[in-house]
Structure 1
Amino acid sequence: MADLNKVFLMGRLTFDPELRRTPSGTAVAELRMATSRGWTDREGGRREETLFIDVTVWDRAAENCCQYLRKGSQIHVEGSLKMDTWEDKTTGQKREKIRVHADRVQFLDSKRSDSGGGGDYGSGDDEAAPAPPPREPARRSSGPPNGAGATRGGYSQSSRPSRPPVEPEQEEDDIPF
Structure 2
Amino acid sequence: MAGSLNKVILIGRLGQDPKLTYLPSGSPVANFNLATDESYRDRDGNKVEKTEWHRVAVYGRSAEFCGNYLSKGRLVYIEGALRTRKWQGQDGQDRYTTEVVVTSPGHTVQGLDRAQTADAPPGEYGGQPRQERQGEGGRQATRPAPRRDDDLGPAFPSEASGMDDVPF
Report the TM range for the smaller structure's normalisation.
Answer: 0.5 to 0.7
Aligned residue number for residue 60 of structure 2: 59
Q: Deviations over 1:45-69 (max 9, x none)?
A: 1111111111111111111111111
Which one of the candidate residues 120, 130, 135 is aligned to 2:153? 130
Alpha carbons of structure 1 residues 36 and 87: separation in structure 2 relative to 1, 3 Å? same
1:149 counterpart residue number: none
SS for the counterpart of 1:111 is coil
Structure 1 runs of 4+ off > 6 angstroms?
none
1:89-104 to 2 correspondence within 5 Å? 89=90, 91-102=91-102, 103-104=107-108
Distance in 2, matches of 1:132 and 1:15, equals 20
SS at match of 1:62: helix
**Kindly, what percent of the aligned residue pairs are identical?**
37
Partner of 1:117: 125
The change in CA–CA distance for 1:14 and 1:59 in structure 2 (over 3 A counts) is same
Change (3 A) 1:112 1:93: farther
Quote the Cα distance in structure 2 between the aligned partners of 1:21 and 1:70: 19
Query: 1:6·1:78 contact (CA, 8 Å) conserved in 2?
Result: yes
Once residues 67 and 93 of structure 2 are traced to their aligned partners in structure 1, the CA distance between those partners, rounded to angstroms, is 33
RMSD across aligned positions (CA): 2.0
One of 98, 104, 110 as aligned partner of 1:106: 110
Partner of 2:139: none
> Which whole-Å CA distance do the structure 2 matches of 1:97 and 1:13 have between them?
19
- Please name the residue that 2:44 is paired with: 43
Report how far residue 129 of structure 1 moved.
Answer: 4.5
Runs of 5+ consecutive residues of structure 1 not aligned to the other structure? 119-127, 134-177
Q: Is the CA contact 1:60–1:129 (under 8 Å) kept in the aligned structure 2?
A: no
2:153 is matched by which residue type in structure 1?
Answer: P
Q: Distance in 1 between matches of 2:152 and 2:108?
A: 11
Alpha-carbon distance in 2 for matches of 1:11, 1:45: 24
Q: Which amino acid aligns with 2:99?
A: R
Letter in 2 for 1:92: G
For residues 9 and 107 of structure 1, do their structure 2 counterparts lie closer, same or farther at Cα, with a shift above 3 Å needed?
A: same
